[in-house]
Amino acid sequence: MSGEIQGAWFKAILGSMTAASSRFPQQQQRINSMRDDTWYAWEDYVRMVGELQASLGDRAVEAIAQRSAMRTLPLARALGFDSVEKVFGDFDALLRGMVRALPPSDSTRTVSFMPLSVELESHSRLPSALLLGTFRGLLMGFGKIVTEVKVTQRGGTRRFSLKWM
């Protein structure tokens, strides 16, 4: 079984992306019919994110993901991720709370966490802009101001380095 993402998360991210433009009426209609407490195919989420990202571009996707992550922080808190340390100390645990049976290839793991910085590695099929916006939004939701971001790629692995104050 490929993974499943809870409707509340699916809707928060993709609903914001489709609302950003009138070019996505079919996707918006599908998202509007989703229930927060129902699980939906991870493959559909990945596919839709890719389609929308190709249309909207990196900057828009990062900004949308940032706002969405801040709005969905109560969902993360309800899962027990109620501090920066809990979210970024083991980011993959949060991801697995949002996506059950997450394919290992789509994980995002914490490489190192310090009080004012984190390094994460991902092989995820999700765009870097979406992941980066999500990281920024979660940090902002905890009142942190991101001061430095670095994204590097080696082979299929992307490393995200963030610092904040």
pLDDT top residue among 16 and 54: 54
The reported pTM is 0.93
Domain count, the chain: 1
Q: What is the CATH number of the domain that holds 80?
A: 3.90.1520.10
Whether the predicted pLDDT of 153 surpasses 80: yes
User: Which two three-digit tokens encode residue 115?
Assistant: 């009080």
**Predicted local confidence at residue 25, as pLDDT:** 85
Q: pLDDT class for 1, splitting at 50, 70, 90?
A: low
Give me the mean pLDDT over the 49-61 stretch: 92
Using pLDDT thresholds of 50, 70 and 90, give the confidence band for residue 144.
Answer: very high
Q: What DSSP string runs through 2-31? A: --EEEHHHHHHHHHHHHHT-TT-HHHHHHH
Give the pLDDT score at 162: 98
| Backbone φ/ψ region at 57: left (φ over 0), alpha (ψ -120 to 50), beta | left
pLDDT per residue as tens digits for the range 73-124: 999 999 999 999 999 999 999 999 999 999 999 999 999 999 999 999 999 9
Q: Which domain holds residue 159?
A: 4-164
First CA to last CA across the chain, in angstroms? Answer: 41
CA distance 154 to 105: 15
Tell me what pLDDT residue 136 has: 97
